Amino acid sequence: MAASCWPASGFYREKKRNCSARTAIFDGGMMKNKEGEVANRPDNTAFTQQRLPAWQPMLSAGIVIPGFLVIGLVFIGIGVALFLGSQSIQVLESDYTGLNSNTPCYECSDASKKNCTCSIEFTLTKQFDGPVFLYYGLSNFFQNHRKYGVSRDYYQLSGDTAYFKNPSDSCSPYIYDSGVPIVPCGAAANSMFNDSFRLYQLVGGTKKPVPLDGKGISWWTDYNIVFRNPPLVNGSLAAAFNGTAKPVNWAKPAYELDTSDPSNNGFMNEDFLVWMRRAALPDFRKLYRRITQGDYAAGLPVGNYSLEISYNYPVIGFGGRKKIVLSNVSWMGGKNMFLGVAYLVIGSLCIVMSLVMLIVYAKYKFPEGDS
Amino acid sequence: MFPATNRHKSDKKVNNRKVKVLINGELRSEKWMDVQVGDIIKLENNQFVTADLLLLSSSEPLNLVYIETAELDGETNLKVKQALTVTGDMGDSIKDLAAFNGEVCCEPPNNRLDRFTGTLTFTGQKYALDNERILLRGCTIRNTDWCFGLVIFGGQETKLMQNCGKTIFKRTSIDHLMNVLVLCIFGFLAISCSILAIGNRIWEQQEGSTFTAFLPRQDGVNAPFSAFLTFWSYVIILNTVVPISLYVSVEIIRLGNSYYIDWDRKMYHARSDTPAEARTTTLNEELGQIKYIFSDKTGTLTQNIMVFNKCSINGKCYGDVLDYTGQRLEITEQTDSVDFSFNQLADPKFMFYDQSLVEAVKLENTEVHAFFRLLALCHTVMAEEKNEGDLLYQAQSPDEGALVTAARNFGFVFRSRTPESVSIVEMGVQRCYQLLAILDFNNVRKRMSVIVRSPDGKLTLYCKGADTIIYERLHLSCSKLMEVTTEHLNEFAGDGLRTLALAYKNLDEEYFREWKERHHEASTSLEDREEKLDLLYEEIEKDLMLLGATAIEDKLQDGVAHTIEQLAKADIKIWVLTGDKQETAENIGYSCNMLREEMNDIFIVAANTPEGVREKLRHARSTMKPDSAEDELLCKMLQGDSPKVVPDESVTGEYGFVINGQSLAYALEPTMELEFLRTACMCKTVICCRVTPLQKAQVVELVKKYKKAVTLAIGDGANDVSMIKAAHIGVGISGQEGMQAVLSSDYSFAQFRFLQRLLLVHGRWSYLRMCNFLRYFFYKNFTFTFMHFWYAFFCGFSAQTVYDEWFITLYNLVYTALPVLGMSLFDQDVSDSWSFEYPQLYVPGQLNLYFSKTAFMKCALHSCYSSLVLFFIPYGAIYDTVKNDGKDIADYQSFALLVQTCLLVAVCIQLGLDMSYWTAVNHVFVWGSLAMYFIVTFTMHSNGMYLTFTSSFPHIGTARNSLSQPNVWLTILLTSILCVLPVLTHRFLLIQLQPTVNDKVRLKVRQMKAAPPPPPRRIRMRRTSSRRSAYAFSHAQGYGDLVTSGRFLHRQVKPRSTGFTPTGRTLNFSPAGRSAGYSPTAQNQNSKGDLEPTALQMYRTKQPSY
């Protein structure tokens, strides 16, 4: 893009001079032999004489005005594509913090209640195209706080048992729980999101469970490289965690995170992995499940649905919010109108600018030839 | 570093120079630095004087010593010093000298070159000592085999060193500005950090205290303490606004640009094999900001060579080469010079181009013969003939030498003289003229005459002098010839030549005898001798017959006039500061085209009282600008503000200003300096003559003090050292005798004309590059840093960096270092030949347009805008969004990668916009750095790096995961375009609406589609001028006495058969003198072999070498 600002014909090369420079070097050598007086004469090279061939671009009207126009048009094109792409994405989101008494999860928002469940019911009047992703969203949650970010032990998370006994100091203050080392240590792991969701389609009064796929929701690199379980002891993961304490906020130790799937435990638990990839901004959403199986592989058909929430995670205390999001994606990712609109605005701006420049150029262009 | 070692070397060279010192009754060769006060040292011909000496004895009769003081005061004629008889009698007897037991009492060390008072107590007698007995350091012994001297002042105490001024550590104005800016930046840093700390305090209060469930505070850390810690954390994070690498890069750029000066072939002088040299590598960009140039005259503007150029004989003008249509041709190196082979005694170095004059000589034209006979007879030159036919002339002024040499080549060879005769070879025939009287030159008479009797007995008075003086004394019958000759004189003057009218008169034997008696009477009278003699001279020098006129060129260095014209076009003011006489200086002013006939007025300030000087200055100023503010008013105005700056006052019309040393001394008094400065600055040309070295420095200091301008001093001799040191930039002319000026200079080269290349090309480019560099460097670092600031508002002011640590480390060091260095080493807005074509391109530098506080502020605002774009566009783009496989992309690591990639691309594009000269190196640097970024990023985010250094590279996989996303690339594209869009628009509109000279020239270059403009036309400067000056002005009085007294003629040689036997004298004239004479036409003794750095540097080693 930047190159379009330069004049097309701006490539000027000093070929002739360069050649003469070379012959002159030769001459210099000759003279030295003859007279012996030019010992101090500097070398005649394009570099030392500052005559390196160069491209000398200039902001000329012939380049800038059409350049702006072209950029503008291209941007509008991209903008339209992005906008349409984003428009086509279906998003269904619902705040289930339960602040208001008329919301389904109001009862559960009381921190003293344990094992509270609530459910949100919704109706799809339009087919929700698959693959559909289920996200949970948190707001006002500072995963990007510096101290929060550093509060983890990479070695421990890569399954190095040496760090099971002596977790890194960076995990402070979640290193030891009454003298027993915490695994996984640190504030990041400790604050893991622990609400769980079940989705049902209401078909004629019965709840038909929508299968939620928890596999492959984390980054490939996280799952395969970064996080490793400790080597099993006697074939048992629990034994490998022997002599360690669970994070204080956790209800269950790491090796019991997913009771339904033994391979989804410990540091290989994908929910854990998703959580540990800390968000850049205080409002974020994280992938919870994918709906890719069974009758729902092509998406959620029209109908009534019920989302059952096991409400555990306290957010009201720090002014946070929780939400659940159903969304599909397009070629450019999740729904985000910003980029498309920005492209449209800036594209139009370029075109306006090129017009302004054209007018200025036609009217005021400085008289050429005199200086 | 480099200049320091260079200096050290040359200092050492001077310090280790050998001189013979009398120790314990024998002469020993000692190093200069070991010479002490009280030592007796022996100096030989052509040696530099080691220290200030009391002259004890010399090889010459009457204990005379001839010295050349060009290094000290710029005057080139030989001067004579004489030892006391009582010490002179010791001769070269080592025994006597070793036993010499005198006591010298003298004044304390001071800087007055022309005065010395002291006494010598020797064998109980007291002898007064004055300047006549003192040899000053910096002089050169000439025409003297040996002499002995007693060291009175050594080292720092010598008058030369006292005149040198202090060595100050020079820094450029950009340096000063940079220091101020860095301080401002520190202030800004403190403010930003405070803001963020306050933010943190509020956040901790409102959010942090409730967020403790997930992120507990450390023990003992409450909100205020956390804010305090945050402050320091942000100091660490944001310190990239005060880049340490800035200073390093600036020095590298300066060094590189200094090397370009060393390497420049167009500043290499082949004849002396001297390349230009940047002796200081820290001042380059200031070369692009020079407003005032202070130039020495002798050896800098002029070559100090006089050339007999033209003449008018009996109404016919000789000297021009005409083509067949009668047009005057320009004389170049290709022009055939006249063949003087008919004359065995001709000086082969003499060049003349007009064949007709030789033909006239050969045709035995009476007037032409008389003309050259006069030139051969009427002078005070001494001839030496080492071998038969190998003549060397020692002239008191180079002009005389040139005239006698001209006569020599045209067949009237002055061969030898005795006090009473002059022997010349006239067209191959030896003739001896009896020298009856020399009517010597002085400043009032402005003429000299000789009265001679030719071998055939005719009595003739030959006279040469300033034309106005001669014209008054001409016979009426010459009126016709006068008219024609006047025309020629005007023409000569128009070419900037020094003219001289020649006349003769045949004397009546009877009358002369009677006159001679009266002359004898007058010259022996005790009262009013001068007046009486003047009257007598006046009486006999009348009714003269005009012969013609000569025109002598005080040869300027090559290209001086053109250079001065170019520099004037670049709005640089040139002041000439010279130790030479007013008339000579003025004349050079005219021939360099600095003073012009068409100037409205030329003020000459030469008064003997402070009141007189003030009066003249006032008068000059009120003539130029009647309504200009009074001094007192201005003073009041200045008192308020601490940086006193006298504003430039514009005047209509062009004025010249000439002031002499004595007046300058008054004008530089604190009470008058403002008056002087204001007046001088209104004038187009300022010439200060007869100034001492220290005054030169004072003038420079004055301008430095009251004008916010960059000054440059250029000179070649020891007398220029002080001003070279005082000015912002000192330039020494190298490749000639003596090196004092070069040794204390910042830049040196062989020819004055290289100055225009140094300033208009190297200086301008350096300035441009430095400013481009600074603006870009601040831009890129500010942009980089501001992003952290914006991110603070979203991460709880927790000092979380927005980039990954490796990017922070490598950004300045690897990713952006080379492209900007490439720009600052290779950038050119227009090529050098265009820079010469349009010297106006230099003006922005003088006005500090490219980098100033305003430019810096603009730069900061620009960065602010860019950082907002670069932060918030990615923010918006990833907010609540996911990858196209539904996975996370709004995570911190991806965001960091996105933001830093946007930043890097944007600053690269900005660099591309700033760079106007893309060489292959620049391409490699820019594209290479971008490629390097991606390579390094992918490497650091690779599995291998994580597995090897787990905690150092936690960003594993980020590059793969996010750079595969189309919306990431679209974000990068959007931010880049949005960053450059306003810049492009602004620049384009500015070019269209308010084009600078620069823009116009660049457009023109594009239109021409070819870099080299037509080669600079060397226009022969022809001026119509009625102003004339005579050579005699450069002459000093009293040489006639020396000639007739025979002091010069000290060698006993067997008399030649000259046809004239001198009587009444014991000393015979000898043409076979030593070869060591100094004459402008025989500069061979000044050849390269003798070139050595002189005095001065010996004491440098005592000064700190930084």
Closest CA to B463 of B441, B447, B485: B447
Mean pLDDT of A216-244: 91
> How many residues would you count in chain A?
371
Residue A36 sits at the chain B interface (C-beta within 8 Å): no
- What pLDDT shows up at residue B77? 67
Helices (H) and strands (E) in chain B, counts: 38, 33
Closest CA to A274 of A223, A228, A308: A223
pLDDT, residue A201, reads 92
Structure tokens at B616: 């003249």
Q: Out of A224-233, B192-201, B526-535, B676-685, which region has the weakest mean confidence (pLDDT)?
A: B526-535
Give the pLDDT score at B1009: 65
Average pLDDT in the A242-247 region?
A: 90
Q: What are residue B55's DSSP bridge partners?
A: B149
On average, the pLDDT of chain B sits at 83
Give the ranges where A9-153 is alpha helix by DSSP (H).
Answer: 15-35, 61-87, 146-150
Annotation marks residue B34 as catalytic: no
- One-letter amino acid at B666 equals Y
Interface contact flag, B890 A285, Cβ < 8 Å: yes
Whether A159 and chain B come into contact, CB under 8 Å, resolves to no
Distance between CA atoms of residues B696 and B725, nearest Å = 11
Mean pLDDT of chain A: 84
Reported as a pLDDT band with limits 50, 70 and 90, residue B924 is very high
Q: What is the pLDDT of residue B703?
A: 92
The model's confidence at residue B1103, banded by pLDDT at 50, 70 and 90, is very low
Question: What would the DSSP string read from start to end of B939-964?
Answer: HHTSHHHHHHSTTT-TTTTHHHHHTT
Report whether B690 belongs to an annotated binding site: yes
Distance CA(B755)–CA(B570), nearest Å, equals 12
Nearest in space to B1083 (alpha carbons), one of B188, B171, B405? B405
Assess whether pLDDT exceeds 50 at residue B1091: no
Interchain contact, A277 vs B795, CB within 8 Å: no
Interface of A with B in 48-77 (CB under 8 A): 48-50, 52-61, 64, 68, 71, 75
Q: How far apart are CA A291 and CA A154, in angstroms?
A: 31
pLDDT band at residue B870 under the 50/70/90 scheme? very high
**For range B792-814, the mean pLDDT:** 92
Mean pLDDT across B362-387: 86
Higher pLDDT residue, B1066 or B293?
A: B293
Q: Which residue has the higher pLDDT, B950 or B872?
A: B872
CA neighbor of A64 nearest in space, from A363, A343, A366, A360: A360
Rounded to whole angstroms, the Cα distance separating B141 from B135 reads: 9
Residue B808 has pLDDT above 60, yes or no: yes
Q: What is the mean pLDDT of residues B887-901?
A: 93
The per-residue pLDDT for range B61-104, each reduced to its tens digit, is 778 888 877 777 666 667 788 888 888 888 888 888 888 888 88
Of the listed ranges A179-193, B142-156, B563-577, the one predicted with least confidence? B142-156
pLDDT tens for A46-72 read 899 998 999 988 888 888 999 999 999
User: Which secondary-structure segment (H or E) carries B1017?
Assistant: none
* CA gap B357, B373 in Å, rounded: 14
Question: Is pLDDT larger for residue B1010 or for residue B419?
Answer: B419
pLDDT of residue A371: 41
pLDDT at position A31: 39
Mean pLDDT of B572-582: 87
Q: Is pLDDT of B1052 > 50?
A: no
The pLDDT value recorded for residue A346 is: 95
Residues of B in contact with A54 (CB under 8 A): 826, 828, 917-919, 922
What is the pLDDT at residue B1064?
Answer: 36
Q: Tokens in use for B9?
A: 């070397």
What confidence category does residue B1028 fall into, taking pLDDT thresholds of 50, 70 and 90? Answer: low
Whether residue B1074 has pLDDT greater than 60:
no
Instruction: Inform me whether the pLDDT recorded for B638 exceeds 80.
Output: no
Residues 6+ apart with CB under 8 A from A42: A48, B262, B263, B264, B265, B268, B275
pLDDT at B394: 75
- Local confidence band at B1014 (pLDDT 50, 70, 90 cut-offs): low
Give the H/E segment covering residue B1095. none
Q: Report how far residue B701's alpha carbon sits from residue B678's, in angstroms, rounded to the nearest whole number.
A: 14
pLDDT the model gives residue B12: 78
Report the pLDDT value the prediction gives residue B763, as an integer from 0 to 100.
94
Quick: pLDDT tens for B436-456. Answer: 888 888 777 888 899 999 898
In chain A, which among 101-130 make CB contacts under 8 A with chain B? none
pLDDT of residue B1022 exceeding 70:
no
Name the residue with tokens 């010349």.
B424
Q: Which of B424-438, B451-465, B587-601 has the lowest mean pLDDT?
A: B587-601
Least confident of B857-866, B980-989, B1013-1022: B1013-1022
* Reported confidence tier of residue A92, pLDDT bands at 50, 70, 90: very high
Does B854 have pLDDT greater than 90? yes
ipTM of the complex: 0.90
Average pLDDT over residues B540-561: 87
Least confident of B526-540, B590-604, B1078-1092: B1078-1092
Q: Which two tokens stand for residue B539?
A: 């009486």
Per-residue pLDDT reduced to its tens digit, B947-965:
888 888 989 999 999 999 9
Q: What is the pLDDT of residues B978-1008, one digit of tens each?
A: 999 999 999 999 888 888 888 888 888 887 7
Q: How far is B921 from chain A (nearest CA, A)?
A: 9
Residue of B807, B707, B822, B840 whose CA lies nearest to B769: B822
Nearest CA in chain A to B877: A339
DSSP for A231-272, please give it: PPBTTBHHHHTTT-B--TT-SS-GGGS-SS-GGG-GGG-HHH
Mutation site for A-interface testing, chosen from B977, B1001, B1003, B1005 by largest number of A Cβ within 10 Å = B977
Question: Is B354 or A339 the better-scoring residue by pLDDT?
Answer: A339
Most confident of B76-80, B643-647, B761-765, B1044-1048: B761-765
pLDDT given for residue B290 in this prediction: 93
Beta bridge partners of B778: none
Cα B628 to Cα B674: distance, rounded to the nearest angstrom = 13
Q: Is pLDDT larger for residue B322 or for residue A298?
A: A298
Of A187 and A14, the one with more pLDDT? A187
Q: Tell me the average pLDDT across B671-698.
A: 88
**For position A286, what pLDDT does the model report?**
94
B981 and A346 in contact by Cβ < 8 A? Answer: yes
State how far the Cα of A359 lies from the Cα of B842, in Å rounded to an integer. Answer: 32
- Residue B623, marked binder: no
Interatomic CA distance for residues B772 and B135, integer angstroms: 53
Residue B1082 confidence (pLDDT): 34
Backbone angles phi, psi at B898, to 5 degrees: -60, -50
Query: Which residues, in sequence order, are CB contacts of B12 under 8 Å at separation 6+?
Result: B1101
Mean pLDDT for the stretch of residues B165-173: 78
Predicted confidence (pLDDT) per residue in B235-258, tens digit:
999 988 877 888 889 999 999 999
- Residue pLDDT, tens place only, B14-41: 778 888 888 888 888 888 888 888 888 9
Percent of chain A with pLDDT over 90: 48
Three-class DSSP category at B804: coil
CB B66 within 8 A of CB B143: yes
- For residue B1002, the chain A residue with the least C-alpha distance is A58
Q: Is residue A98 pLDDT above 50, yes or no? A: yes
* pLDDT of A10 strictly over 50: no
Contacts of A371 in chain B (CB under 8 A): 838, 997, 1000-1001, 1004
Asked if B956 lies within 8 A of A225 by C-beta distance, the reply is yes
Most A CBs within 10 A among B215, B267, B907, B986, hence the mutation to make, goes to B215
The closest alpha carbon to B17, from B39, B37, B47, belongs to B47
| CA separation, residue B950 to residues A269, B430, B947, B958 (Å) | 20, 105, 5, 15
Contact B60, B1048 (CB under 8 A): no
Confidence check: pLDDT of A131 > 50? yes
**Helix axis angle, A61-87 relative to B966-993, nearest 10°?**
150
B888·A287 Cβ contact <8 A? yes
Distance from CA of A233 to the nearest CA of B (A): 23
Residues whose CB falls within 8 Å of the CB of residue A202, separated by 6 or more in sequence, listed in order: A121, A208, A303, A304, A305, A306
- List C-alpha distances in Å: B766 to A343, B258, B953: 41, 9, 41
Beta strands in B694-756 (DSSP E): 710-715, 729-733, 747-749
Distances B897 to A289, B967, B968, B973 between C-alpha atoms, Å: 26, 13, 10, 15
Task: Please check whether residue B860 is in contact with residue B778, taking contact to mean a CB–CB distance below 8 angstroms.
Answer: yes
- Give residue A371's Cα distance to chain centre: 54
As separate numbers, helices (DSSP H) first and strands (DSSP E) second, chain A gives 10, 13
Please compute the mean of the pLDDT values over residues A2-13 and round it to a whole number: 36
State yes or no: pLDDT of B857 exceeds 90.
yes
Does the annotation place B580 within a ligand binding site?
yes
Instruction: Give mean pLDDT, residues A138-143.
Output: 92
The DSSP H or E segment spanning A196 is strand A196-203
Contacts of B586 (CB under 8 A, 6+ apart): B595, B658, B687, B689, B1029
> Nearest by CB to A284, which of B275, B890, B993?
B890
Q: What is the pLDDT of residue B1098?
A: 34
Give the pLDDT of residue B1062: 37
pLDDT at B49 over 90: no
Q: What is the pLDDT of residues B719-764, one digit of tens each?
A: 888 889 899 999 999 866 566 788 888 999 999 999 999 999 999 9
Going by the DSSP 8-state scheme, the letter that residue B156 receives in this structure is G
Beta strands in B185-322 (DSSP E): 277-278, 290-295, 302-313, 316-318
